[in-house]
A and B are shown apart, each in its own frame.
Chain A
Amino acid sequence: MTSPAADNADNADNADRGAAAWHPATVAAAAVGLAVFAFLLAPTSGVRTAAPLASVPRVLAPLAPLAAFAAAAALAASGGRPALRRWLFWTAASWLPIAISLVLVHGLVFPEGRMILVRLGPLAVTAEGLAFAAATAARWLAASGAIALVGALCRPAAIVQALEASSLPGGLGHAAAGAVLLVPTARHAASDIRAAQRARGLVVDGSLVRRAASLAPLVVPLAVQLIVDGQDRAAAVAARGFAPGRPMRHAWPLPDSPSQRRLRRAILAAAVLGIVLRLVATWS
């Protein structure tokens, strides 16, 4: 009795269940909270440890970023398999470049490093350098995983609506909302432009020189289009009744609850408190 279409619909429901349950602001608060937690509790090797952390057993401290990452993973998994997949993608995409550059920079050049593992001319791979790179990369992993939660658990339309309903001044919420949805629009236009130019003879692959030469025909129409479209769209949106600063009333308000609001406030307050304590400890 179950048709493939019905299966798909079920999957889609499951995929959105986690997303629908949480208000985007709650997800964003959780992301900020986890990222702050990972950075505050992690020890900075080679630098003196902050006083309040002296009470935290040294063994447990390196686990803080990993705990934050695990919590982010658990939250992503609560959104179903597609959300988890999206989360993995965004986490990897944002973290890998940072991790690679950290290992390259601190692994090869670390002035405090004494234990030399490999010597490469003027460069030396030191154990201390690698340890520092690993500790920093672990914190960034937690931060990337936390921020990726927003992309994984919230539909772009929900983020847009949350921004519009937010108390950001003037048309800022709307502008930020437009930026969120600009990405898919630009991607669509870019693929169209690429096709149009290839259909009249532009070669877009091959040597690096060739690729560099093919950049203008692809980038210029996209840039012009985004600018012209932006102006025309601003006029069109004004014609539809949009006025910066005027409050909107959404036809389908995002699900939210007093407990979610309390949770958001608690997370953000804890994060601010943590940052203040850490700063005080560092300066004293």
Chain B
Amino acid sequence: MSAEGAIEPAIVADGLTFRYPGASRDALVNVDIRVDRGAAHVIAGANGSGRTTLLGVLAGQLHGGSGGRLRGRVTGAATSALVPSDPYLAQSGVRASVRAELAFGLECRAQEPRRIHERVAAALRTFGLDALAERDPSTLSGGEAARLAVAAQWVVAPVTLLVDDLAAQLDRAGTLALRRCLAEHVAAGGAAIWATTRLDGPLEAAGRVDSAGAGVGGRDESGGSGELDGRTARGAVAPAADVDPRPGTPFSPHAPPSCDITMLVGGRVAAGGPLARRADDPRLAPWGIIPAAGPRALVAPAAAPADGGAVDMMRPTVPAALTIESLTAGYPDAPSPALHEATLTVQPGEIVALVGPNGGGKSTLARTAVGLLPPTSGLVRVGDRRFDAHANAVGPARGAALAMQRPERMIFRRRADEEVAIGLRWLGVPPAERAALVAAALAGAGLAGRAADHPHDLLPSQRRWLALAAVVALRTPVLVLDEPTAGFDAFDLIRFSVWLATLRAAGRAVLWITHDRALASILADRTVRLAGGRVVADERDGGANMEGGV
């Protein structure tokens, strides 16, 4: 595309100020940004810093005509493509296979069928989606859907690819695949902008990947041998033979990134310059951005619980351990059980992280533990109560509650405090006691001042906190959390470390499903790795020595 060395801007924004309709303050204030062809850029900022708004303006989706008020100028919006942070919402909803979904954007542009076939084939290959080509897009896992979302924008050959914090949905293999794809795009003369709350994704140690020998698509993707069976292998990133971004390309998995960063605080540019120089800026954490060193720079293993009062409010009605014995479970239409003879125990006051690749059986284990899915064989015990295939006690009725991945799936009240209170009402907790528990749960989640707010007025990360508050307030001895930290910024992670410490001190048994191995190794007492439906490792050191990516 563009000649090497020639500097040609891909997207330029001058003095952007944007206010949403009905808002009392500007979401963006006088933001300048310029990204050239063949270059990449990172926009970092805490949740609520204006990161997503800036991407919306750059992509031309938010403009004066959309009801908001925009000042300043953007050039290059028409040739940019935005990948939103929720990869499922990026799907057209009118295509029944990954292949057809990739073709959709080109079909809308009425391109030649032969060219569509070529581009779709290239996208499938480049993004490691060949094995998923005939799958229904709505049934993909979060990581797979994220890859499809990027591929679906890449396929129409935009000049600038804008990616909004997709890393929140991606496992390690997915993050590396995303980096490779952006590097590819930049190497071919395009521009890439990656907006994120955390710098450890874009900056993930390149050396480690290199040492795996094959770079992206090598051992790091497929992980341990346990992942190479049926279900998981389909989702693995296949190496693309013709992809070899030059070292030094921004985001290349082969080398440290060399690009600029813009840091947003309260809608304003707080700092900028080369990413490498800013990667460990001491101001990152105070600005809510997770530094390149990852969660380790923010949270300590022995975070102190909030205070004695908070601990008391979080105590379970009766402390009990969660024991899972030779549990086999699966879905009726699946050829093989998703979970195979899994055994593990979580003691009261213990935080156990459950890690493993997509499709490894984590969610199945969570659902079986709380009674949403009956086991084919084996047993779940909460304290000395036994639940087998015939038990029909679900959730709090068996002493276990589950916070699912998507908080929107449960929120239905008009006020945050009512959302927490409703579960207590279902359990028959008297009103006076209910009010105290609601207040404590909201305070622990950092939502004390938002009790009367409509949940849909909260930031997505705050809605996640609201779901956690609603589940923790039930005081079940066992708590199962499914990816609670997706999309969290530095402030959220620090709060989360205190929240977990409070649960530990209160004597809850917590099973915590996560992709964030770094965070798990710091905050969990133990890490259990599940792959191919089996427990492949159970270690006390937080999993620091485990082989294979999560």
User: Please, which residue of chain B has its CB at the minimum distance from the CB of A158?
Assistant: B96
* Inter-subunit contact A201/B426 (CB<8 Å): yes
- The count of residues in chain B whose C-beta lies closer than 8 Å to any C-beta of chain A is 61
Given the complex of chains A and B, what is the CA–CA distance between A174 and B100 in angstroms?
15
* Inter-subunit contact B90/A236 (CB<8 Å): yes
- Residue B95 CB within 8 A of the other chain: yes
Chain B nearest Cβ from A171, distance in angstroms? 11
* Inter-subunit contact B96/A157 (CB<8 Å): yes
Chain B nearest Cβ from A207, distance in angstroms? 15
What secondary structure prevails in chain A residues at the interface with B? helix
Taking A157-B100, A233-B89, A242-B92 as contacts, is the C-beta distance between A249 and B110 under 8 angstroms?
yes
* Inter-subunit contact A201/B401 (CB<8 Å): yes
User: Please, which residue of chain B has its CB at the minimum distance from the CB of A8?
Assistant: B335
* Inter-subunit contact A193/B410 (CB<8 Å): yes
Across-interface contacts of B25 in A (CB, < 8 A): none
Chain B residues numbered 115-170 whose CB sits less than 8 Å from any CB in chain A:
116-117, 120, 136, 138-139, 152-153, 156
Across-interface contacts of B426 in A (CB, < 8 A): 200-203
Across-interface contacts of A166 in B (CB, < 8 A): none
Taking A196-B410, A200-B395, A224-B408 as contacts, is the C-beta distance between A241 and B138 under 8 angstroms?
no
Given the complex of chains A and B, what is the CA–CA distance between A229 and B291 in angstroms?
33
Mask, B380-400, CB within 8 Å of A = 1, is 000000000000001111000
- Residue A178 CB within 8 A of the other chain: yes
Given the complex of chains A and B, what is the CA–CA distance between A189 and B361 in angstroms?
20
Given the complex of chains A and B, what is the CA–CA distance between A198 and B120 in angstroms?
41
* Inter-subunit contact B409/A221 (CB<8 Å): yes
* Inter-subunit contact A251/B116 (CB<8 Å): yes
Across-interface contacts of A160 in B (CB, < 8 A): 94-96
Q: Which of B89, B113, B370, B423 contacts A229 (CB 8 A)?
A: B89
- Residue B91 CB within 8 A of the other chain: yes
Chain A residues numbered 177-218 whose CB sits less than 8 Å from any CB in chain B:
177-178, 181-182, 184-185, 188-189, 192-193, 195-203, 216-217
* Inter-subunit contact B94/A177 (CB<8 Å): yes
- Residue A225 CB within 8 A of the other chain: yes
- Residue A164 CB within 8 A of the other chain: yes
* Inter-subunit contact B395/A224 (CB<8 Å): no
Most buried by B among A196, A200, A221, A252: A200
Given the complex of chains A and B, what is the CA–CA distance between A241 and B152 in angstroms?
11
Given the complex of chains A and B, what is the CA–CA distance between A202 and B423 in angstroms?
7
Given the complex of chains A and B, what is the CA–CA distance between A177 and B397 in angstroms?
42
Across-interface contacts of A189 in B (CB, < 8 A): 409
* Inter-subunit contact B110/A217 (CB<8 Å): no
Number of residue pairs spanning A and B whose beta carbons lie under 8 angstroms apart: 154
- The count of residues in chain A whose C-beta lies closer than 8 Å to any C-beta of chain B is 52
Q: Which of B68-76, B101-109, B255-263, B274-282 contacts A (4 or more CB under 8 A)?
A: B101-109
User: Please, which residue of chain B has its CB at the minimum distance from the CB of A192?
Assistant: B409
Chain A nearest Cβ from B160, distance in angstroms? 13
Most buried by B among A232, A236, A238: A236
Across-interface contacts of B84 in A (CB, < 8 A): 232, 236
Across-interface contacts of B117 in A (CB, < 8 A): 251
Chain A nearest Cβ from B199, distance in angstroms? 26
Chain A nearest Cβ from B540, distance in angstroms? 28
* Inter-subunit contact A248/B138 (CB<8 Å): no
User: Please, which residue of chain A has its CB at the minimum distance from the CB of B428?
Assistant: A201
Given the complex of chains A and B, what is the CA–CA distance between A193 and B427 in angstroms?
19
Mask, B55-77, CB within 8 Å of A = 1, is 00001010000000000000000
Taking A192-B404, A217-B422 as contacts, is the C-beta distance between A249 and B93 under 8 angstroms?
no
Given the complex of chains A and B, what is the CA–CA distance between A246 and B59 in angstroms?
21
Chain A nearest Cβ from B372, distance in angstroms? 5
Given the complex of chains A and B, what is the CA–CA distance between A248 and B108 in angstroms?
5
Taking A174-B94, A221-B408 as contacts, is the C-beta distance between A232 and B89 under 8 angstroms?
yes
Chain A residues numbered 242-258 whose CB sits less than 8 Å from any CB in chain B:
242-243, 246-253
Q: Which of A155, A184, A236, A240 contacts B138 (CB 8 A)?
A: A184
* Inter-subunit contact B395/A199 (CB<8 Å): yes
Given the complex of chains A and B, what is the CA–CA distance between A247 and B107 in angstroms?
9
* Inter-subunit contact B107/A249 (CB<8 Å): yes
User: Please, which residue of chain B has its CB at the minimum distance from the CB of A242?
Assistant: B108
* Inter-subunit contact A157/B90 (CB<8 Å): no
* Inter-subunit contact B401/A181 (CB<8 Å): no
* Inter-subunit contact A201/B96 (CB<8 Å): no
- Residue B82 CB within 8 A of the other chain: yes
Most buried by B among A174, A225, A235: A235
* Inter-subunit contact A239/B395 (CB<8 Å): no
Q: Which of A184, A202, A203, A246 contacts B110 (CB 8 A)?
A: A246
* Inter-subunit contact B81/A239 (CB<8 Å): yes
- Residue A168 CB within 8 A of the other chain: no
Given the complex of chains A and B, what is the CA–CA distance between A188 and B136 in angstroms?
12
Taking A217-B422, A251-B117 as contacts, is the C-beta distance between A185 and B409 under 8 angstroms?
no
- Residue A237 CB within 8 A of the other chain: yes
- Residue B232 CB within 8 A of the other chain: no
- Residue A270 CB within 8 A of the other chain: no
Q: Which of B94, B408, B456 contacts A164 (CB 8 A)?
A: B94
Given the complex of chains A and B, what is the CA–CA distance between A27 and B383 in angstroms?
59
* Inter-subunit contact B412/A185 (CB<8 Å): no
Given the complex of chains A and B, what is the CA–CA distance between A243 and B113 in angstroms?
19
Chain A nearest Cβ from B153, distance in angstroms? 8
Given the complex of chains A and B, what is the CA–CA distance between A185 and B136 in angstroms?
11
User: Please, which residue of chain A has its CB at the minimum distance from the CB of B62?
Assistant: A235
Across-interface contacts of B409 in A (CB, < 8 A): 189, 192-193, 196, 221, 225
Chain B nearest Cβ from A129, distance in angstroms? 44
* Inter-subunit contact A197/B410 (CB<8 Å): yes
User: Please, which residue of chain B has its CB at the minimum distance from the CB of A247?
Assistant: B110
Chain B nearest Cβ from A6, distance in angstroms? 14
- Report which A residues bind B (CB closer than 8 A): 155-157, 160, 164, 174, 177-178, 181-182, 184-185, 188-189, 192-193, 195-203, 216-217, 220-221, 224-225, 228-229, 232-233, 235-243, 246-253
A-B contact pairs, 26 of them (CB 8 A): A156-B96, A160-B96, A164-B94, A198-B372, A199-B394, A199-B404, A200-B410, A200-B426, A200-B474, A203-B426, A216-B412, A217-B410, A217-B412, A228-B456, A232-B89, A233-B93, A236-B92, A237-B93, A239-B61, A240-B108, A241-B109, A247-B110, A251-B106, A251-B107, A251-B113, A252-B103
4 nearest A-B residue pairs (beta carbon): A157-B96, A220-B412, A199-B402, A241-B108
Given A199-B404, A236-B91, A241-B108, 20 extra CB contacts under 8 A: A157-B95, A184-B136, A189-B409, A199-B395, A200-B401, A200-B423, A200-B426, A201-B395, A201-B474, A216-B412, A221-B409, A221-B412, A224-B412, A233-B92, A236-B92, A237-B94, A240-B153, A241-B106, A248-B110, A251-B117
